[in-house]
Amino acid sequence: MCGIAGFVTVQPSDSPSVIERMTDTIRHRGPDDSGYYRDPWASLGFRRLSIIDVAGGHQPMANEDASLFIVFNGEIFNHAELRPSLVQAGHRYSNRSDTETILHSYEQYGPACLLRLRGMFAFAIWDKTARKLFCARDRLGKKPFYYYWDGRTFAFASEIKALLEHPSVSPQFEDALLPEYLAFGYVSDDRTLFRGIRKLMPGHHLTLDLSSASPQPEIRQYWDIPDPQPETRDDSSWISECRERLEQTVCMRLMSDVPLGMFLSGGLDSSAIAALMKRNFSGPVKTFAVGYREAEFSELPYARHVSQAIGTEHHEVVVGMEDFFNALPRLIWHEDEPIAWPSSVSLYFVSRLAREHVTVVLTGEGSDEMFGGYARYRFYAMNQRWLRLYRLLPGALRSAVRNHVATTPLLSSTLRRKLQHTFVGRGEDLESLYLDNFYSAFSAAQQHALFKRLPTTSPYAGFRKYWDSKPHLSALPRLLFADQKTYLVELLMKQDQMSMATSVESRVPFLDHEFVEFSTRVPQHMKLRHGEGKYIVKKAIEGIVPHEIIYRKKMGFPTPLRQWLRDPRAGSLFQIMRAKDGLLASYIDPAALDKLLHLQVSGREDATDRVWRLLTLQLWGDMFLTGKREARWEGIMAASHPIV
Among residues 2, 113, 135, 242, the one annotated as catalytic is: 2
**CA 597 to CA 620: how far, in whole Å?**
19
**CA 102 to CA 119: how far, in whole Å?**
11
Residues linked to residue 145 through DSSP beta bridges, in sequence order: none
Are 133 and 207 in contact by the 8 Å Cβ rule? The answer is: yes
Strands (E), 480-519: 505-507
Are 513 and 140 in contact by the 8 Å Cβ rule? The answer is: yes
**CA 371 to CA 533: how far, in whole Å?**
7
Strands (E), 476-600: 505-507
DSSP annotation of 172: -
Are 25 and 335 in contact by the 8 Å Cβ rule? The answer is: no
Short-list 298, 290, 306, CA closest to 350: 290
**CA 7 to CA 152: how far, in whole Å?**
10
- Longest distance between any two alpha carbons in the chain, whole Å: 80
Q: Examine the residue annotation and report whether 113 is marked as an active-site residue of this protein.
A: no
**CA 341 to CA 616: how far, in whole Å?**
10
Number of Cα atoms under 13 Å in the Cβ half of residue 634: 4
* Preceding peptide of 60 cis, ω within 30°: yes
Buried (b) or exposed (e) across 548-584, using 16+ Cβ within 10 A? ebbeeeeeeebbbbbebbeeeebbbbbebbbeeebbb
Residues in the chain: 644
Are 298 and 559 in contact by the 8 Å Cβ rule? The answer is: no
Residues linked to residue 505 through DSSP beta bridges, in sequence order: 360
Neighbour tally for 359: CB within 10 Å: 20
Are 539 and 328 in contact by the 8 Å Cβ rule? The answer is: no
The set of long-range contacts for 194-197, using a CB threshold of 8 Å and a minimum separation of 24, is 194/160, 194/164, 194/336, 194/624, 196/148, 196/150, 196/169, 196/172, 197/146, 197/147, 197/148, 197/160, 197/163, 197/169
Going by DSSP bridges, is the β-strand pair 505-507/119-127 parallel, antiparallel, or unpaired?
unpaired
Integer-rounded Cα Rg, in Å, for the chain is: 25
Reduced to 3 states, what is the DSSP secondary structure of residue 43?
A: strand
DSSP annotation of 225: P
Are 177 and 193 in contact by the 8 Å Cβ rule? The answer is: yes
Active site residues: 2
